[in-house]
Amino acid sequence: MLPWKIIQKLESNNSRLFKEDVIQSQLKDVDFQEGLSMCLDSLVTFGVKQVPESQEDGKGLKWSYFKDKASLLIERERTGHAARDEILELMSLATSEQWNSWYRRILIKDLRCGVSEKTVNNVAKRMDLKFRVPVFSCMLAHDGAKHPKKIHGPCLVEYKYDGVRVIAITSKGSATLYSRNGKILSNFPHIEEALSKPEFNGFVLDGEVMSDDFQSLMKQVHRKTNAKTDDAYLALFDILPLSEFNNGKSNLNSVQRKDFLDDMSKSFESCIKPVEYTVLDFDTKEGEKTFSEMNKNALAQGYEGLMIKPVNDIYECKRSHAWLKIKPFIEVTLTVTDIQEGSGKHEGKLGAFSVEGNDDGKFFSLSVGSGLTDDDREKFWKAKDSLIGQLIEIRADAVTQSEEGEHFSLRFPRFKTFRGFNVGEKI
C-alpha cells in the first residue's frame, strides 16, 4: 500500500488496535519506515515553519527524490527563501493526495492520524523488527516526599519555577524549542533567536519558560488564542552537549554543569536567565537550616517548591531519583498536650500527639500521627508521661482554619522532631 493511502486508512478509525494492525501490515516497507522516522523523530527538523497545502496535481513525487531534497533542509543547506523554493518545487511535483496526506505531514512533523512513535515502536517490537523510531526523553524528577532517605549529604538546591518545561536544542546555527515530550514549540521566536548564536551551537539547554501572566503563557504554548506574553523568558537550570543528550546521559556532574552554564551565561540576552542555586549539606545542622530558610522563601515568593540534586549525580534522559522535587511546606513548633494510643498494628504504641500552642501569631490545635517510624511509636509510647508539655516541630502543607474561626489547624501535618531531644538521647 502506498504511504499516503496508509495514512488515510489510519485516519478512518480511532481504534488503537485498528491502527496497530494497519501499521503492522505495512511496517516492513523501508520507505514507510524512513518516512515515519523522519516525521516522528523529534530531533529531525527541517527549519521551516509553514508548508502550504497543494491544490493541484503534479506528475508524482518519488520517495528517493523527496528524501534527498529533505536532507538538504535537515542539514540546513537550504534555508530562508531557498528552503521555501525547495518546498514549492517538491509540492509542484507531487499529486495533491501524495503531498497533503504524506510529504507535507512529514515536513510539518505531524502525521495527523493518531499515531505516535510509541505506537510504531510497540508494533515493531511485536514484529521482532530492529527498526525503532528514536524517542525524545529528558531528565524528570521524583517526588521527594516519597523518597526522604535519598535526601542526604551535599546537594544542589534550587527553587522550582512554575512555568512550562522547555528543552532548547541548538544545532546547525539555530535553536529549536521542545516540550518535555518532544513536541516542537515554535511560538517563542525571541528565545529561539537569542539561543541561535554560534557559541551555543551543539548544546542542549534545559529550563522553564516563565511569564508574569501564566494563563496567557499557557494559551501561547498551546496556540489556543493569539495571546502573546512579551515578558516570556527562559529560566535555565541545566546544560549538556547535544552528543551526550543523544547518548542519554552527561559526562559532567551537577555542579560541573552549573559552572559551565554560569560561564556561558555571560553571552545570554535578557530573555535567558540562569536559575539561582545553593549547595548545602543535608547531613549538617547548617544545611538543614539553610534548606528550611529556602523553603520559607519558596512559600513567600510563590515558587512551586524546591529541587534537590546531589552534587555528584549526572543528567540522565529518564525519570531519576537524582532529581527530587519538594513541595513548599510550613513548620510550626507546638506543645504536646496529650498522647493517643494507636490501634490495629499500632496498638500498644503511640498513635498520635495532641498538640496546641501559638506560632507566628496564630493559635493551633490539632493531632499529629504521621511522620513517625515504628521505632518512634514504640519509644515515645514508653516515654509518654515525660512527653506531655514538650515542644514538638511539625511540618505541614498548609495552614487551615476551623469553621468556627476559633483556632487554626494544619493540612497533612507530619512529625519532624522534638525540641530539646538530641540524637541518641534517652527519653
Class of domain 3-126: mainly alpha
Instruction: Round to whole Å and give the CA distance between 295 and 45.
Output: 41
Encode 44-113 in three state secondary structure. CCCCCCCCCCCCCCCCCCCHHHHHHHHHHHHCCCCCHHHHHHHHHHHHHHCCHHHHHHHHHHHHCCCCCC
Superfamily name and number for 140-326: DNA ligase/mRNA capping enzyme (3.30.470.30)
> What does pLDDT average to in each consecutive run of 10 residues of the chain (427 residues)?
96 96 96 97 91 96 97 93 96 97 96 95 96 95 89 96 93 91 88 94 96 75 61 94 95 97 95 96 93 89 92 96 92 93 93 93 92 92 91 88 82 86 49
Q: What is the pTM of this model?
A: 0.78
* Closest of 239, 387, 415, 398 to residue 329, by C-alpha: 398
Find out if CATH 3.30.2080.10 is the number for domain 330-418: no
- What pLDDT does residue 398 have? 81
Which residues neighbour 205 within 8 Å (Cβ) at sequence distance 6 or greater?
167, 168, 170, 195, 234, 236, 238, 239, 261
**Domains of the chain: which residue ranges?**
3-126, 140-326, 330-418
